[in-house]
Amino acid sequence: MEKENKKLLAETEKLTIENAELQQQLRDIEETFNGIKTGNIDALVIAREQALKVYTETTADKPYRILIEKMHEGAVTINDEGIILYCNFSFANLVNQPLQKAIGTIFENYIDVSAKKHIEALRQNGTVDILKEEVYIYASGGKEISVLMSANAMWLDTVFAVNIILTDLTLQNENKERLKRKSKQLEEKNNELERTNKELAFQNEEKEKRAAELIITNKELQQLLQLNADKDRFISILAHDLRSPFNSILGFLRILSKKIRSFTIEEIEEYIKMISQSAQNTFNLLEDLIVWTMSQSGKLPYEPQKLIFNEVCKEVVGILKPIASAKSITLNYFVPNEITVFADSNMLKTVLRNLVSNAIKFTNPEGRIDIYAEKTSSGITISVSDNGVGMEPETVNMLFDISKTHTTKGTGNESGTGLGLFLCKEFIEKHGSELRVKSQKNEGSSFYFTLLAENPQ
């Protein structure tokens, strides 16, 4: 379509150029001829390759007439009364009249109102003037034809005449109309293409949205599947670890029920001590399980506030110090009185209790556990360190992966599920921090995290 439009434009431009060239040639010849007729030019000399050619008034008139007769534009000469004194065959064909019949008729019979006014003005003016305008002429039968009219008023000796050149614009206008229609069609196609592109863009955008939603949904599904798998594995581990202390308690109770009359007071006290320890461990495990369940269901309240960390440490150490002392482990905390943290009190105490209990479990008798708190650029860094058995790098890497959880006996043959560490990790992340660990086999471990000292708001 664009090639066809360009072709129509090229044809129109070519016709316009040819018309301008012919009109210029006619004006040049007319000027030369008039010069010869008036005596201003005696002769016209044209240089040829072989010789010079001389044109006088007589010889110059012939090519002028031939040019007029052969040209495609209509040529008309009228007098001051508007009568056609001369016209060529092109004009006769244009108005669909025989040449002889056209000569002698009134020129205004062939032109529209606008052209009549301009021709009348030229005739009434009586001076040399030039007119160029697009008008309509009417052929025999009433056919309306668009033409470009160029009129030139002049005096030939004592006779006033108007010379008129009429260029048929039918083809040019048809080309314009065709070009206009093609342009409109092209515009419609472009608009349709633009609408299609917008629709495609919208569809692509919707597809991208759906793809993004599917990715999110798939990710959430994978997370749910992983959580479900972790839950199943954890329940399996938990069931095993709950069964073990109950088996111990039931076993000890059977022995006591059968042999209590034969045991000494010291033996009975030892069995009761072991039953009490197993029951306490089971209670602690169930307590952690309840807290973990509340945390997973979102029912555990999170109410951070400004806390004096020294007082938190004092309370936790006071609870766990007897257990540490039973293994001859020294438990200390080194926290300046002025240090405060912005945290949930219950969560922070649970974290400290689990980290210290874990340290007691894996520290040998006569060992030590220290709690530190120091100010850093990002807040208050808290650490729980021991000089216990430590861990291999492989164990550290899977420490917080519930799918790889495995129980390890403590230095006093204590057992556990590792649930306490998961609680610590979740609670620390709830505070916008991260639970980290450094450990070396046979040298001990250090768990640490950072909390804000003040309310960030």
- Domain edge (last residue) among 150, 175, 200: 175
207 located within any domain: no
Averaged pLDDT score across all residues of the chain: 81
The token pair at 151 is 């009129």
* In a shared domain, residues 158 and 305: no
109 DSSP assignment: G
The CATH number linked to 377 is: 3.30.565.10
- Domain edge (last residue) among 153, 175, 197: 175
pLDDT at 312 (0 to 100): 95
Residue 171 binned pLDDT confidence (cut-offs 50, 70, 90):
confident
226 located within any domain: no
Q: What is the pLDDT of residues 318-376, one digit of tens each?
A: 888 888 888 899 999 999 999 999 999 988 998 999 899 899 999 999 999 999 999 99
- Domain edge (last residue) among 144, 175, 206: 175
CA dist 2 and 239 (Å) reads 80
What SS3 state is found at 78? strand
Residues in the chain: 457
259 located within any domain: no
What SS3 state is found at 67? helix
pLDDT at 407 (0 to 100): 65
In this predicted structure, which of 65-79, 207-221, 227-241, 289-303 has the lowest mean pLDDT? 227-241
CB of 103 within 8 A of CB of 79?
Answer: no
Among 34-43, 121-130, 218-227, 340-349, the range of highest mean pLDDT: 340-349
Higher-scoring residue by pLDDT: 299, 190: 190
Please state the rounded mean pLDDT for residues 256-275: 84
pLDDT at 340 (0 to 100): 95
What SS3 state is found at 56? coil
Q: What is the pLDDT of residues 396-416, one digit of tens each?
A: 888 887 666 556 778 877 766
265-297 and 345-361 helices cross at what angle (nearest 10)?
A: 140
What is the domain range of residue 163?
2-175
Say yes or no to pLDDT of 246 above 80: no
What SS3 state is found at 417? coil
pLDDT at 259 (0 to 100): 84
In this predicted structure, which of 39-43, 185-189, 352-356 has the lowest mean pLDDT? 39-43
Count the helix, strand and coil residues of the chain and give each as a percent rounded to the nearest 5: 55, 20, 20
* In a shared domain, residues 15 and 158: yes
Say yes or no to pLDDT of 54 above 50: no
Q: CA 321, 323, 329, 333 torsion: positive or negative?
A: negative
The token pair at 418 is 């590792």
Q: What is the pLDDT of residues 417-448, one digit of tens each?
A: 667 788 889 899 999 999 999 999 999 999 99
Say yes or no to pLDDT of 236 above 90: no
Tokens 């007439």 sit on residue: 65
Say yes or no to pLDDT of 53 above 60: no
Residues 288, 290, 291, CA angle at the centre, nearest 5°?
65
Q: Identify the bridge partners of residue 86 per DSSP, sorted by sequence position.
A: 77
CA dist 376 and 379 (Å) reads 5
443 DSSP assignment: T
* In a shared domain, residues 307 and 169: no
Closest CA to 35 of 64, 68, 67, 57: 57
pLDDT at 46 (0 to 100): 46
Q: What is the pLDDT of residues 292-303, one digit of tens each?
A: 677 666 677 889
Please state the rounded mean pLDDT for residues 159-170: 86
Residue 45 binned pLDDT confidence (cut-offs 50, 70, 90):
very low
76 located within any domain: yes
89 located within any domain: yes
CB of 383 within 8 A of CB of 444?
Answer: no
pLDDT at 55 (0 to 100): 47
Classify the phi-psi angles of 141: left when phi > 0, otherwise alpha if psi is within -120 to 50, otherwise beta: left
CB of 436 within 8 A of CB of 448?
Answer: yes
pLDDT at 179 (0 to 100): 87
237 located within any domain: no
Please state the rounded mean pLDDT for residues 110-120: 83
Looking at residue 299, its amino acid is K
Q: What percent of the chain has pLDDT over 90?
A: 28
Q: Order of strands, edge to edge, in the sheet holding 368-376? A: 330-334, 368-376, 379-386, 444-451, 436-440
pLDDT at 416 (0 to 100): 65
Q: Which residues have CB under 8 Å from 441's CB, separation 6+?
A: 389, 390, 391, 392
Residue 48 binned pLDDT confidence (cut-offs 50, 70, 90):
very low
41 located within any domain: yes
Higher-scoring residue by pLDDT: 25, 290: 290
Give the largest Cα separation in the chain, rounded.
167
203 located within any domain: no
Looking at residue 361, its amino acid is K
Say yes or no to pLDDT of 314 above 90: yes
In this predicted structure, which of 51-60, 184-193, 239-248, 298-307 has the lowest mean pLDDT? 51-60
Say yes or no to pLDDT of 81 above 80: yes
- Tell me how many domains the chain contains: 2
The CATH number linked to 142 is: 3.30.450.20
CA dist 166 and 116 (Å) reads 14
